[in-house]
Amino acid sequence: MKKAFTMLELVFVIVIVGILSYFVSSSFQRNPLREAADQVVSHIRYTQHLAMIDDKFDPNDARFKANPNYSASHNGEWYKEFWRMRFYTVSGIVYYVVFTDKDRNGNVDTTTHTEPAIDPLSSKYLFVGNTPSDPKNNNKMDLTTTFGITSVTATCDTGYLDFFFDNLGRPYVNSVAANPAPYSGLLRNDCNITLANATQNVTITIVPETGYTYISAQNY
């Protein structure tokens, strides 16, 4: 007599496969909050990489004096050119930029776009941009519109949400841009950056000295 499945056994198999398929598909559902966190971590690491291959030490200001926006008032402030990531919240929109402050004035250049970093994957700026028609504008830097992020906070917030790196990959906080002592802004404790939407949040941690960055907590 040939062995075969009974109808009841087939029903059980179908039910089990259906349950497994539900859980598997649920695990692959899009989570914009996690996507935003992964992107920010990737860009923090890229900022550190740029800093390590582009030493900004310029004791005689030779490079700075060749800048069209040179101002003698910023002589000796070579450390203000460290590659950095800065977060902004304007009219409820959270966005960020990766740049080097070549003219040492404390702001990213929004006219000539010589200061923002270039995304190696898309060749777009790591910057939202002020000119909508510019094909190099990167809308992914707008965390609110793209990912639904409503706020960003940090335990190392010193006014601006700024994170710098030197050529050794060491992380700094905003005080490096305001203090005449180049190394005064070195990060001394873990910096926890929290991205949040209406109901969930995720925390990114930057470790002192090494600058190691990772997702340390999530609530979703």
Could you give the number of structural domains in the chain?
A: 1
Range of the domain at 173: 31-219
Report yes or no on 61 lying in a domain.
Answer: yes
pLDDT digits (tens, 9 = 90+) for 9-56: 666 667 677 767 656 554 567 799 999 999 999 999 999 999 999 999
For the chain, the average pLDDT equals 85
Beta-strand pair 161-165/213-219? unpaired
Report yes or no on 37 lying in a domain.
Answer: yes
Query: For position 168, what pLDDT does the model report?
Result: 95
Report yes or no on 13 lying in a domain.
Answer: no
Report yes or no on 15 lying in a domain.
Answer: no
Report yes or no on 2 lying in a domain.
Answer: no
Angle at 56 between CA 165 and CA 206, to 5 degrees: 0
Report yes or no on 9 lying in a domain.
Answer: no
Torsion of CA 69, 72, 73, 77, to 10 degrees: 80
Q: Give the position of tokens 């990766």.
A: 98
Report yes or no on 17 lying in a domain.
Answer: no
pLDDT digits (tens, 9 = 90+) for 58-102: 888 888 888 888 888 888 888 889 999 999 998 999 999 999 998
Report yes or no on 20 lying in a domain.
Answer: no
